[in-house]
Amino acid sequence: MAPRRPKAAGAAPARAQPGRRPVLVTGFAPVGGEAINPSWEICRALPAAIGRSPLETLLVPTQFRRAIEVVAEAIERTDPTLVILLGQAGGRACVSVERVAINIDDARIADNAGARPIDEPVAAAGPPAYFATVPIKAMVAAIRDAGIPAEVSNSAGTFVCNHLFYGTLHYLAASGRDARAGFIHVPWLESQAVSRPGEPAMALATMVRGVEAAIAAALATAEDVKMAAGQLD
């Protein structure tokens, strides 16, 4: 069965009117013994608004189930037009805009509450997968136009990042809300790579510029651009 694509909301303008619904941007708490998580550091460094669209940032616990609950509560509270979930993907060399979330948890390590689900569905009654409802290729193009390496990724993993990505799309589909949602993975911060010789890393300021460009593109784009972004392996 093909991944389900939830009904996307209408396009948001690049510059909205005063009182516009916000963009919700989330980042995770550190996990796996790390002292920092670039996804949350990006949230802390983002401006208060992009164009006339206010940004609401949210720190999400790196925990199965609880992460979805926290984001769903924030969506209920803020009624965003756009939800951009950020996560750390150590080992990747560029900003990765995720295409698809899959209905599986398969944790290589425990989350911050000690949970380690293996081969369990995110939602027992949910479809096998959901596609992102943001214009992923337009977002990648905008990040590249800002001079930052970026790619479309076809796997968000099977840890809490994918869990939250799938859970958010499932919640939006089930609740009938019109917010569009997507997930962006970012590399290690330079400080995290010091103890990992040869591992790729990126400066925080560069990541922030990339995420800003991606959000602006998502707000401005009604229909995604046609651009080859597939992979051979």
- Catalytic (active-site) positions: 98, 161, 185
Total-model pTM: 0.91
How confident is the model over 80-135, as pLDDT tens digits? 999 999 999 999 999 999 999 999 999 999 999 999 999 999 999 999 999 999 99
Bigger pLDDT: 230 or 74? Answer: 74
Class of domain 23-220: alpha beta
How confident is the model over 24-78, as pLDDT tens digits? 999 999 999 999 999 999 999 999 999 999 999 999 999 999 999 999 999 999 9
| Predicted confidence (pLDDT) at residue 219 exceeds the cutoff of 80 | yes
Here the tokens at position 11 are 């396009």
**74-101 per-residue burial string, b: 16 or more CB within 10 A, e: under 16:** bbeebebbbbbbbbbbbebebbbbbbbb
In the block, tokens 């790729």 appear at 200
Looking at residue 231, its pLDDT comes to 74
In the block, tokens 């550091």 appear at 41
Look up residue 99 and give its amino acid. R
Say what percent of the chain tops pLDDT 90.
85
Looking at residue 10, its pLDDT comes to 31
How confident is the model over 135-155, as pLDDT tens digits? 999 999 999 999 999 999 999
Give the residue among 179, 129, 149, 167 at the shortest CA–CA distance from 20.
179
Q: Tell me the domain boundaries of the chain.
A: 23-220
